[in-house]
Amino acid sequence: MKYGIIGASGRMGQEIARLFNKNGHQLVYRKDEKEVDASAEPEIMIDFSLASAFPETLSIIKEKSIPLIIGTTGLNKDNLTELHNLAAEVPVIQSFNFSIGINILSKLISQVNNYLDKSWDLEMTETHHRFKKDKPSGTALMLAELLKQPVEIHAKRLGSEFGEHKIEFASTGELISLKHRAYSREAFSRGVLLSAEAALELEPGFYSFQDILN
């Protein structure tokens, strides 16, 4: 497929291009903060940039009328509403985490949560590389929404960590700990590839990565 990346020079943009190119897909549109480089019309667009780029992304997709896969974090409620509105026109696949492991972890958290009452303590810790702009991570916020009670999120910015999320549930007598750690950005780009390949067959609508996996 011919595809485009918004945030093409970023850490995720480069990793997505590496994996897509390895799978025979053609990067024909690259956009960064200050430049656009287009050699052909893309069939789908991928956005892994910054929340501040969102208004531009919205108008690009409206103009091109192609599916959007968006993993950018730090989007606010209004941005998400606008994405849902856009989904009336084109397929939109949005997730704050495109790794298969985090999506399995989400299911486990929901299950454990159903067994526990409010007497259990709950804590979440997320660790990411020092360059990550949003804090806490979009994934931590997404996981927190699965819990029945509010959870404190401890966010660490350390060295080169690709992304670690840990949820601990404890009573006075025992502890359950669920942890996911990405070894590389390929954990995310593989999910983006699955989503992009699926997007070409989808009707307009709003899809989570979980929907694509299902």
Interacting residues with ligand NAD (CB under 6 A): 6-7, 9-13, 31-33, 48-50, 52-53, 56, 71-74, 95-98, 134, 188
Report whether 95 belongs to an annotated binding site. Answer: yes
- Write down the least CB distance from residue 92 to ligand NAD, Å: 14
Q: Is 180 assigned a catalytic role?
A: no
- Are 155 and 165 in contact by the 8 Å Cβ rule? The answer is no
CB nearer ligand NAD, residue 115 or residue 131? 131
- Write down the least CB distance from residue 79 to ligand NAD, Å: 12
**To which residue do tokens 């093409």 refer?**
8
CB nearer ligand NAD, residue 34 or residue 118? 34
- Write down the least CB distance from residue 59 to ligand NAD, Å: 11
d(C-alpha 115, C-alpha 74), whole Å:
31
CA end-to-end span of the chain: 23
Report whether 71 belongs to an annotated binding site. Answer: yes
- Write down the least CB distance from residue 60 to ligand NAD, Å: 9
Q: What residue spans of 87-160 are helical by DSSP H?
A: 100-115, 138-144
Report whether 98 belongs to an annotated binding site. Answer: yes
Report whether 129 belongs to an annotated binding site. Answer: yes
- Write down the least CB distance from residue 27 to ligand NAD, Å: 14
d(C-alpha 157, C-alpha 136), whole Å:
10
CB nearer ligand NAD, residue 121 or residue 164? 164
- Are 1 and 26 in contact by the 8 Å Cβ rule? The answer is yes
Report whether 138 belongs to an annotated binding site. Answer: yes
- Are 16 and 48 in contact by the 8 Å Cβ rule? The answer is yes
Report the 3 state secondary structure along 33-63. Answer: CCCEEECCCCCEEEECCCHHHHHHHHHHHHH
CB nearer ligand NAD, residue 148 or residue 181? 181
Number of other residues whose CB lies within 10 A of the CB of residue 185: 20
Q: Is 118 assigned a catalytic role?
A: no
Q: Which residues contact 65 (CB under 8 A, 6 or more apart)?
A: 89, 90
Report whether 73 belongs to an annotated binding site. Answer: yes
- Could you say which of 2, 64, 132, 166 is catalytic? 132
Q: Which segments are annotated as binding site for NAD(+)?
A: 7-12, 71-73, 95-98
Active-site residues: which are they?
A: 128, 132
Q: Which segments are annotated as binding site?
A: 7-12, 31, 71-73, 95-98, 129, 138-139
Q: Which segments are annotated as binding site for (S)-2,3,4,5-tetrahydrodipicolinate?
A: 129, 138-139
